[in-house]
Structure 1
């Protein structure tokens, strides 16, 4: 029997069978933690169901735009961003020419991705696209100490407009888009479509799973994410 069709043990049973016990914990704590563990197991299973549903998407729209980019190694098109991979992930960075400095939240996401870029690169091509000139992007890359992320300028903004890096009112937004290439045809596969219109009351717009490691770690803690704190580009000395 394959794993897909194997009946799952109820999450509550798995939670009750966990051998983990923390020094000096109370019975009240253990009961609450076991109930939480059951919910965490259910969350894990739901994440996997969503991922499987995402992988099963039918072919997306063919890419027909003649998008042009400028990278550190020269000009390229969208197909060139794939390099030798069949899957391409592009992060649209909120760092247009009108900005004095880059978006702090985007920068926080990308700083975490920078550390994982060599591992991600074993499976796919990862590119970061912004609308500032490449000279400005490479200077920023040096300032941040990034070594692995590949930054590109969207030369005419066409890609950013078509794939939601620029909103209809001209404002920027961070966007994640995934593309595939088969037999010379490039198609869109998936993008993060969760935003302000899909946000729940009292919450900032966010995707799920959240691409920012920051929030995942804060969610482990008693205070959680808080209500009005956001990362900064620097915190002084």
Structure 2
């Protein structure tokens, strides 16, 4: 016997019928996401100034952050000056991306830009075991101009390069980043889901305050850092 809440137990035919009913909604959502992506491909774009960021090898123009590719995804990582552990959401989100070479086939690159001073940012990257390439916009208005000013939120921005001219094509923040995360995609498949209080779950399902099950930045460093547990 268990005291945990459980889904109802039914026969296989009933289960299959209800799964097929859900599948109808899942397929509709997939088609809607396809339509959204089609609209995204038709968005206009805006030309960007010639920003200079800071990279591991020194100052680098935004156009050179593309590293020869035509398309660029930038994750603007939150930064709190003087803090040992930075935003756990940003740290957890970016820790997922350890193998990005597949983007080469799509003429694209994915990097992190943060408001933190470069030496501190790179030290933090190493501490938490992050594998992405990091740049700093601490001495540039770039972060502010793309929705991630100092001391404020995170963002995802997408850019397109035409020769030496860079254009901004898309932006999101908040829960708009969830589709880029495989963690939520996996967790949402589970019977109990994210187990957060805001979610619509059956009575008795385990629920906790939002974010309380997320790993801390220190947890991530323990799991993925230079000396993982």
Sort the TM-score into its range (normalised by shorter chain). Answer: 0.7 to 0.9
Instruction: For 1:87-236, list aligned pairs within 5 A.
Output: 87-113=71-97, 115-123=98-106, 124-147=108-131, 149-166=132-149, 171-192=151-172, 195=174, 206-207=175-176, 210-227=179-196, 228=209, 229=212, 230-235=214-219
| 1:83 counterpart SS class | coil
Give the superposition deviation at 1:85.
Answer: 0.7
Correspondence for 1:26: 12
How many Å separate the matches in 1 of 2:58 and 2:176?
Answer: 33
Contact 2:63-2:165 within 8 A present in 1 as well: no
Aligned length: 196
Give the superposition deviation at 1:51.
Answer: 0.8
CA deviations on 1:131-163 (whole Å, 9 max, x unpaired) are 11222222222222234x110111325111111
- CA-based RMSD: 2.1
| 1:89 counterpart SS class | strand
Q: Which has the higher contact order (CA 8 A, sep 6+)?
A: 2
Distance 1:209 1:133, change over 3 A: closer
Alignment TM-score, normalising by the size of structure 1 = 0.75
Alignment TM-score, normalising by the size of structure 2 = 0.77
Consecutive unaligned residues of structure 2, counting only runs of 5 or more, are: 1-9, 197-208, 223-228
How many Å separate the matches in 1 of 2:144 and 2:186?
Answer: 33
Consecutive unaligned residues of structure 1, counting only runs of 5 or more, are: 1-23, 196-205
Distance 1:121 1:133, change over 3 A: farther
